[in-house]
Amino acid sequence: MSTELNLVTQLATILVAAGVFTIISKALKQPLILGYIVAGFIVGPKLGLIPQFSPESVHQWSDLGIIFLLFGLGLEFSFKKLLGVGSTAVIAAGTICIGMFMMGFVTGTSLEWSNMESIFLGGMLSMSSTTIIIKAYDDLGIKKKSYATLVFGLLVVEDLLAVLMMVLFSTLAVSNKFSGSEVIYSLAKLSFFLIICFLVGIFVLPSLLKRAKKYLSEEILLLASIGLCFVMVLLANAAGFSSALGAFIMGSILSSTIEGERIEHTIGNIKNLFGAIFFVSVGMMVDPEIIVSYWDVILIITIVAMSGILIFSTGGVLLSGKGLDTALHVGFSLPQLGEFSFIIAGLGVSLGVMRDFIYPVIISVSVITTFTTPYMIKAADPVSKWLHAKLPQKVVTRLYQGESHRKNEKEESTWRKFIKEFLIRVILYVVVLIAISLACHAFLPKLSALLLPDFGKHMKYAFEIVVYILVMSPFLYDLAASGTELKLLSMELVETNRKNAIPIFVFIFIRISLAAVFVLSAIMWHYQLEKWNILLAMSTIFLIFVAARKKAMQCTGIEQHFFSNLNEKEQLNKLQNPIQALMNEKMANYNIFIDGITISSDFQMPGVPLLEMDFIRQTGVNIIKIKRGSRSIVIPSAKETLYPGDYVLVVGSKEQIEEFAQAIKHKSTIKESKDKSADDFTVEKHTLTNISYLSGKILYKTEMRKAGCMVISVIRDGELISNPPADFLFQTGDQVWFAGIKSSIHWYK
């Protein structure tokens, strides 16, 4: 069979099996993930019923599925959002990795595995599954819960730690000893790669998408976004990182652009397709012979993994300062082994430090924990309520309500903001300058040899140094400059206390010195300088920067362009939704947010005053704006009503808004029982005649709303007038669209 036909046969087998078994799972009210895994087990090479797949092809399909799933995750959670939960995610992920590594090592030793196998087991048990949790959250409809962002941020930190762990384990396997320098190098390399990708991506991609906007049809946008994803995958692989990390990085960069939501919507179905392929491929890796032979080992590792991750993840989130309810939801989401566990297991086998049976054992544990994932996530709510009822009141108050009281305590001082801004600025520019330096060392000698073949080496050296400095100069200038935010914070600190001028000067000295070091490195690239010459050169370069200090207070267009692209999405949102943006900006530190919800066409309470909608009062939200067509009702009164198609802005905590959204959805569900008010509601069109009640009347004088109906639009002389104003005068021949109670509409016609 040809390779092309074999691929088609494999894909057809995967999709047909997935379709059949997911239908069966749905009918039995089981998680869809279970259907995918069972389908993979049935058609996979281990069972041997359908001899279409080799172990290599299974891994290829699995890798492809992971790429699309991680790309989709990146589109939903940008770098800026991840930084918002950074400290909590780092603390929790660190707690899980350290705790589970120790438990894994002890478990492996207890099973009489070798030290190296026990170390690898500790690493495998430290990694939860990003893809499985994404799918479970999708199926359960909880991706917008307040704890979901924290869960996804934690998983990304785990993935980054997994990359470092793989490097460390490779070093251990080869040398049989820890290499601190290798770990530091890997961490620096990973940080360098992430920062460069982020800076270049944000600087270039938003501008390209903006220029090509008028040409970006759905088809072109789909091709371009997937192409960019695979380019980043190749770059990540070339740099020694995983394909999954590259896909996630590109998704995160694109999510920061104004086309991010459109791209996410465009690739949604493709992500679901390859997500199904991934989970089917996981099922293909299940080996029934290994399960029978090592069932006791599989059971022990499963219990250790689930209980350990639950304990350490819950404890880590509590340690970071979050409440018990959030900690429990995070903890109950994570107890499963993920795709990085497979990668670490495969690494151990390929390096010859693990026996072959361990890989299928880990796959089996992953399948079992995958099956339990949806049930564990669902169990978080009842466990949280049970603990709330059983724990002493003092403990309940501290663990459940303490989080809201910490918000104001976390408010950063001006000094902390200054230091944070300073460090971010210095790190980003230093990384860019290092990248430029590496590129110049690689390419400038070839360029000078090509352009100046007949000149001496000193002329070539001079050419290379000048080009080197010219290329770096805009970034050196911005490194030395204060930047708008840093300048404002400096002025605020000096106004508060004049003694702050001394440490601020020290920070300025550090930045200018760093810029001078890069200029000096350009000279010392070709010329060895003595100590006193180095000091003289540094002093001269430093004085040049100081002399240009007044001018250096302003940044170049490069930085302005970068931050314009970085904040473009937020600025557009502020222009389109000024109230929502203002509220979220001002109240985010107090766990008060604003969100927009569209009322479904099946809404059961049209025309009912807000005062009479008990579910609004029960959820605790406030409606601050109702948008109906071209009309906007800001701060609606208690007598105001809601109608299908209305877009409402509600303010409250994330939990309250989620509860309100669920309540609205419930009120929009058509029930079997008869409801007279719902049956009486209708939308009708009527053409006014000279004997119609409305002919010659002004809209606000008709007092329609009191009677339970309203005019939603009028067609006059072929022109549509949506939501006519209160002083609208009806004329004979108007085609009027009514919404409301049938009897009221009939009377007004």
The Cα angle at residue 15 between residues 13 and 18, in degrees rounded to 5 = 105
- Side-chain half-sphere of 62: how many Cα atoms within 13 Å? 24
Nearest to 128 by CA among 99, 166, 156: 156
For residue 484, the model assigns a pLDDT of: 65
- The CA–CA distances, whole Å, from 567 to 196, 257, 573, 585 equal 18, 9, 10, 14
Nearest to 612 by CA among 588, 575, 640, 587: 640
- The amino acid at residue 619 is T
- The amino acid at residue 402 is G
Q: What are the φ/ψ torsions at residue 689 (nearest 5 degrees)?
A: -110, 180
The rounded distance, in Å, linking the Cα atoms of 429 and 460 is 28
The answer on pLDDT for 679 being more than 60 is no
CATH topology of domain 3-386: Na+/H+ antiporter like fold (1.20.1530)
Neighbour tally for 551: CB within 10 Å: 9
The rounded distance, in Å, linking the Cα atoms of 585 and 611 is 29
Neighbour tally for 651: CB within 10 Å: 20
Question: 534: Cβ–Cβ under 8 A, 6 or more apart, which residues?
Answer: 520, 524
Asked if 301 and 365 count as a contact pair (C-beta separation under 8 A), the reply is yes
* Model pTM score: 0.64
For residue 677, the model assigns a pLDDT of: 42
The rounded distance, in Å, linking the Cα atoms of 56 and 60 is 6
Nearest to 362 by CA among 284, 310, 285, 278: 285
The answer on pLDDT for 713 being more than 70 is yes
What's the gap between Cα 738 and its chain centre? Answer: 43
The rounded distance, in Å, linking the Cα atoms of 371 and 25 is 12
* DSSP H/E element including 323: none
Structure tokens at 697: 């009347």
Q: What are the φ/ψ torsions at residue 731 (nearest 5 degrees)?
A: -130, 155
709 forms beta bridges with: 740
- The amino acid at residue 534 is I
The answer on pLDDT for 400 being more than 60 is no
For residue 678, the model assigns a pLDDT of: 41
In this structure, is the dihedral angle defined by the CA atoms of residues 417, 420, 426 and 431, taken in order, positive or negative?
Answer: negative
651 forms beta bridges with: 594, 622
625 forms beta bridges with: 634, 649
Neighbour tally for 253: CB within 10 Å: 25
The owner of tokens 């600087």 is 203
- Secondary structure of 40-105 as H, E, C letters: HHHHCCCCCCCCCCCHHHHHHHHHHHHHHHHHHHHHHCCHHHHHHCHHHHHHHHHHHHHHHHHHHH
Asked if 41 and 303 count as a contact pair (C-beta separation under 8 A), the reply is no
The answer on pLDDT for 397 being more than 60 is yes
The rounded distance, in Å, linking the Cα atoms of 159 and 126 is 10
pLDDT tens for 570-606 read 666 666 565 555 555 544 544 556 777 888 767 777 7
Architecture of domain 578-667: 2-Layer Sandwich (3.30)
The owner of tokens 């036909």 is 5
Same fold: 3-386 with 676-748: no
- Secondary structure of 156-213 as H, E, C letters: HHHHHHHHHHHHHHHHHHHHCCCCHHHHHHHHHHHHHHHHHHHHHHHHHHHHHHHHCH
For the chain, the structural domain boundaries read: 3-386, 414-563, 578-667, 676-748
Asked if 664 and 616 count as a contact pair (C-beta separation under 8 A), the reply is no
For residue 407, the model assigns a pLDDT of: 41
The rounded distance, in Å, linking the Cα atoms of 148 and 154 is 10
pLDDT tens for 143-152 read 767 788 788 8
For residue 182, the model assigns a pLDDT of: 63
Confidence of residue 609 (pLDDT cuts 50, 70, 90): confident
Asked if 165 and 126 count as a contact pair (C-beta separation under 8 A), the reply is yes
Asked if 641 and 616 count as a contact pair (C-beta separation under 8 A), the reply is no
What's the gap between Cα 659 and its chain centre? Answer: 22
681-687 and 647-652 strand pairing: unpaired
Structure tokens at 349: 């086998």
Confidence of residue 260 (pLDDT cuts 50, 70, 90): confident
The rounded distance, in Å, linking the Cα atoms of 118 and 101 is 9
* Percentage of the residues of the chain whose pLDDT score is greater than 90: 1
Average pLDDT, the chain: 76
- The CA–CA distances, whole Å, from 123 to 174, 299, 314, 344, 548 equal 17, 18, 19, 7, 52
- The CA–CA distances, whole Å, from 88 to 84, 156, 403, 424, 675 equal 9, 12, 13, 19, 48
For residue 288, the model assigns a pLDDT of: 82
Architecture of domain 676-748: 2-Layer Sandwich (3.30)
The rounded distance, in Å, linking the Cα atoms of 20 and 724 is 52
- The CA–CA distances, whole Å, from 113 to 106, 126, 295 equal 10, 18, 16
Most confident of 65-74, 301-310, 695-704: 301-310
Most confident of 3-7, 57-61, 729-733: 729-733
End-to-end CA distance of the chain: 73
What length is written for the chain? 749
Q: Give Dmax over CA atoms of the chain in angstroms.
A: 104
pLDDT tens for 106-143 read 998 988 888 888 888 888 888 887 777 877 887 777 77
Going by the DSSP 8-state scheme, the letter that residue 242 receives in this structure is -
* Percentage of the residues of the chain whose pLDDT score is greater than 70: 78
